[in-house]
């Protein structure tokens, strides 16, 4: 059966979706990600910029790349730009869209069973990746993302049509098959309804096609696609079996044996993958803010040690031991908190430097290396906007090429400045080969260093221009600013920025074939 816009289940879903208060913002975020076209010199910056606006999404992306895909790449990833390079644009985009979907669903008033379905989806994705192993034809990251969305139809129905979903569950408890119960209530399966909604949301055709194939009962089990379908369906069955608290140990073992036979697996190998999958699920639950101890799930998968469910630290941040239960938590003065945050930023800076060095050794494209450097400056030194500007081949203009931060696209449009006219800050910085800190609040005449249009667009009380010299020739500059006048650009900020300036110059020297002028 194919769901159409005139079918009752689709119409009911549309009404429920349109009445959801959080839906407009959710779709705007997703559509922005989906609107990016796959261009090797633009997509990395575009998708990184969108993800970096949201600290929560940034943290989730980096955690998943490092915890789920680390075994495949054998190195930690600390920047979103590197994650794009590691996974590829399509995969990271699909992962970001999937995380947005699940974040949206966690806001449900019917949170208990929604959480159950979210955990089921992530465990399915983890188990599918474990089952793939070293199969060269099934990429672990693509399997993970596809399996993550395998049961999205049930999640959509449960979230937007809770009454209908409850009726389906009641029929299932009476012994009716899942698909039959859904057909009776929705006049379609939950998978069909979910796919129709995903199409309506304009999710990538490739994603919808993969999910459609997975749910096609008549699809062939041969070839790579057939193996992918069997693997994900097997992972889903295993995950439901593992999570269900009502399944007896012997019944659970029998179901695992059936999956082994269907996939041609060694039971011992399956046992190892199940153990690894449970550990990864515990990590993922921390990341999603879900306490597995509060859920009605099997004791086999419930964490045995409460310490496993401590709040997950930010990427690269060591966990702090919990205070003993019989003693009050120790408090620290504000100065200590500031120092701790500064140390985390410094640690992140050096992680990015190491990451850039690895990218240089692997001869990554210069544009991607520059984006990693910009992200290091943006997140590690906490500027509001960071822009890389480049001198044109005729050496008559300097133009903002790409950047990070709120409103950076508008700012890039006004950063097209003549070099022969010494009336602007960029021309002066490149002519004198030195940094220029422009601060009209301190020196009124500094306002004349940029035109009125720039000040209206930037809304910044001050900014810093750092020239980039290769063989003593100025070829570009960094622009950094802070919108809050209460947080000025300090000398320590400038010292740390010079680390990235020098790294950029080294990168440009080593990248003789860089297509920077395209």
Evaluate if residue 250 carries a pLDDT over 50: yes
| 295 to 148, 239, 258, 284, 505: CA distances (angstroms) | 20, 15, 27, 15, 53
Considering the domain architecture, whether residues 179 and 223 belong to the same structural domain is answered as yes
Considering the domain architecture, whether residues 125 and 85 belong to the same structural domain is answered as no
Considering the domain architecture, whether residues 242 and 297 belong to the same structural domain is answered as yes
pLDDT band at 87 (very low <50, low <70, confident <90, very high): confident
pLDDT at residue number 398: 95
CA distance 439 to 461: 6
CA trace torsion 5, 6, 7, 10 (10° rounding): 40
pLDDT at residue number 205: 80
pLDDT at residue number 430: 94
Contacting residues for 208 by C-beta, under 8 A, at least 6 apart: 195, 198, 199
Phi, psi of 422 (to 5 degrees): -80, 15
Higher pLDDT pick, 510 / 460: 460
DSSP string, 80-114: HHHHHHHH-HHHHHHHHHHHHHHHHHTT-SSHHHH
CA distance 164 to 186: 8
pLDDT digits (tens, 9 = 90+) for 34-59: 766 555 445 677 778 878 877 778 88
Higher pLDDT pick, 175 / 317: 175
Mean pLDDT over 103-115 rounds to 76
pLDDT digits (tens, 9 = 90+) for 329-376: 445 454 545 557 778 778 888 888 888 888 888 888 888 889 899 999
Asked if the structure places residue 328 within a domain, the reply is no
Extract the runs of DSSP E, i.e. beta strands, from 406-445: 416-418, 436-438
- Tell me the two tokens of residue 410: 């508008």
- Exposure string of 100-112, with b = 16+ CB inside 10 Å and e = fewer, is bbbbbbeebeeee
pLDDT band at 261 (very low <50, low <70, confident <90, very high): confident
CA distance 69 to 449: 48
Query: How many Cβ atoms are within 10 Å of 438's Cβ, its own excluded?
Result: 23
- How many domains, the chain? 3
Query: How many CA atoms lie less than 13 Å away from 331 in the CB half-sphere?
Result: 3
pLDDT at residue number 2: 55
pLDDT digits (tens, 9 = 90+) for 388-445: 999 999 999 999 998 998 889 899 999 999 998 668 999 999 999 999 999 998 899 9
Asked if the structure places residue 518 within a domain, the reply is no
Asked if the structure places residue 340 within a domain, the reply is no
Last residue of a domain, one of 301, 325, 359: 301
Higher pLDDT pick, 219 / 350: 350
CA distance 511 to 270: 46
Asked if the structure places residue 370 within a domain, the reply is yes
pLDDT at residue number 235: 92
Structural domain boundaries, residue 463: 346-510
pLDDT digits (tens, 9 = 90+) for 169-185: 999 999 999 999 999 99
| 198 to 89, 209, 266, 275: CA distances (angstroms) | 20, 11, 36, 33
pTM: 0.71
Asked if the structure places residue 82 within a domain, the reply is yes
Considering the domain architecture, whether residues 65 and 139 belong to the same structural domain is answered as no
Q: 60, 129 in Cβ contact below 8 A?
A: no
Considering the domain architecture, whether residues 391 and 288 belong to the same structural domain is answered as no
Asked if the structure places residue 177 within a domain, the reply is yes
For position 260, which CATH number holds? Answer: 1.10.3210.10
Considering the domain architecture, whether residues 359 and 220 belong to the same structural domain is answered as no
Higher pLDDT pick, 422 / 312: 422
Considering the domain architecture, whether residues 437 and 461 belong to the same structural domain is answered as yes
Last residue of a domain, one of 105, 140, 171: 105
pLDDT digits (tens, 9 = 90+) for 268-279: 888 888 888 888
pLDDT at residue number 95: 81
pLDDT at residue number 512: 59
Please state which of the ranges 106-110, 263-267, 479-483 shows the lowest mean pLDDT: 106-110
DSSP string, 310-362: SPPPPTTPPPPPPPPTTSPPPP--HHHHHHHHHHHHHHHHHHHHHHHHHHHHT
Asked if the structure places residue 37 within a domain, the reply is yes
CA distance 363 to 361: 5
Any idea which residue has 């001198």 for tokens? 391
pLDDT at residue number 327: 41
Evaluate if residue 93 carries a pLDDT over 80: no
Higher pLDDT pick, 180 / 305: 180
| Burial classification of residue 444, based on how many CB atoms lie within 10 Å of its CB (0-12 exposed, 13-18 middle, 19 or more buried) | exposed
Considering the domain architecture, whether residues 51 and 120 belong to the same structural domain is answered as no
Considering the domain architecture, whether residues 295 and 159 belong to the same structural domain is answered as yes
Evaluate if residue 121 carries a pLDDT over 50: yes
The percent of residues above 90 in pLDDT, for the chain, comes to 27
- Tell me the two tokens of residue 443: 């020196």
Asked if the structure places residue 71 within a domain, the reply is yes
For position 371, which CATH number holds? Answer: 3.30.450.40
CA distance 135 to 156: 32
Considering the domain architecture, whether residues 122 and 271 belong to the same structural domain is answered as yes
pLDDT at residue number 21: 65
Last residue of a domain, one of 105, 123, 155: 105
Considering the domain architecture, whether residues 54 and 134 belong to the same structural domain is answered as no
Considering the domain architecture, whether residues 175 and 97 belong to the same structural domain is answered as no
CA 468 to chain centre: 31
């Amino acid at each position: 059966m194919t769901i159409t816009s005139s079918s009752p289940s689709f119409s009911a879903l549309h009404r429920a979706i349109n009445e959801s208060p959080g839906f407009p913002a959710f779709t705007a975020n997703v559509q922005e990600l989906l609107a990016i076209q796959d261009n090797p010199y633009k997509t990395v910056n575009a998708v990184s910029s969108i993800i970096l606006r949201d600290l929560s999404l940034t943290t989730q992306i980096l955690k998943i790349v490092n915890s789920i895909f680390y075994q495949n790449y054998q190195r930690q990833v600390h920047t979103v730009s590197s994650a794009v390079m590691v996974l590829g644009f399509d995969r990271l985009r699909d992962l970001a869209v999937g995380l947005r979907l699940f974040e949206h669903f966690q806001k449900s008033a019917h949170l208990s069973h929604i959480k159950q379905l979210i955990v089921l989806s992530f465990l399915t994705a983890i188990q599918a990746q474990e089952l793939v192993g070293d199969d060269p034809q099934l990429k672990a990251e693509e399997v993970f993302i596809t399996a993550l969305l395998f049961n999205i139809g049930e999640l959509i129905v449960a979230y937007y049509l809770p009454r209908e979903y409850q009726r389906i569950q009641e029929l299932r408890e009476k012994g009716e098959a899942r698909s039959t119960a859904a057909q009776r209530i929705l006049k379609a399966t939950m998978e069909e309804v979910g796919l129709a909604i995903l199409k309506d949301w304009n999710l990538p055709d490739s994603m919808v096609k993969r999910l459609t194939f997975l749910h096609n009962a008549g699809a062939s089990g041969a070839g790579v696609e057939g193996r992918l379908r069997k693997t994900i369906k097997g992972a889903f069955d295993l995950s439901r079996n593992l999570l269900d608290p009502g399944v007896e140990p012997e019944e659970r073992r029998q179901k695992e044996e059936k999956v082994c036979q269907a996939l041609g697996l060694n039971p011992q190998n399956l046992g190892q993958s199940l153990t690894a999958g449970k550990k990864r699920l515990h990590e993922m639950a921390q990341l999603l803010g879900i306490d597995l101890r509060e859920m009605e799930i099997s004791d086999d998968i419930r964490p045995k040690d409460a310490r496993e469910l401590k709040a997950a630290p930010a990427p690269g941040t060591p966990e702090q031991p919990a205070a003993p239960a019989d003693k009050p938590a120790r408090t620290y003065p504000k100065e200590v908190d500031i120092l701790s945050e500064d140390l985390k930023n410094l640690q992140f800076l050096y992680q990015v430097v190491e990451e850039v060095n690895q990218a240089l050794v692997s001869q990554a494209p210069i544009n991607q290396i520059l984006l990693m450097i910009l992200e290091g400056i943006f997140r590690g030194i906490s500027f509001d906007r960071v822009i890389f500007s480049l001198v044109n081949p005729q050496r008559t203009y300097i133009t903002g090429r790409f950047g990070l931060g709120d409103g950076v696209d508008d700012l890039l449009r006004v950063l097209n400045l003549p070099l022969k006219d010494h009336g602007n800050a960029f021309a002066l910085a490149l002519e004198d080969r030195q940094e220029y800190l422009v601060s009209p609040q301190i020196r009124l005449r500094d306002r004349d260093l940029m035109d009125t249009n720039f000040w209206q667009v930037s809304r910044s009380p001050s900014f810093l221009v750092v020239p980039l010299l290769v063989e003593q020739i100025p070829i570009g500059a960094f622009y950094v600013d802070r919108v809050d006048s209460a947080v000025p650009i300090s000398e320590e900020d400038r010292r740390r920025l010079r680390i990235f300036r020098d790294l950029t110059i080294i990168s440009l020297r080593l990248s003789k074939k860089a297509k920077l002028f395209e």
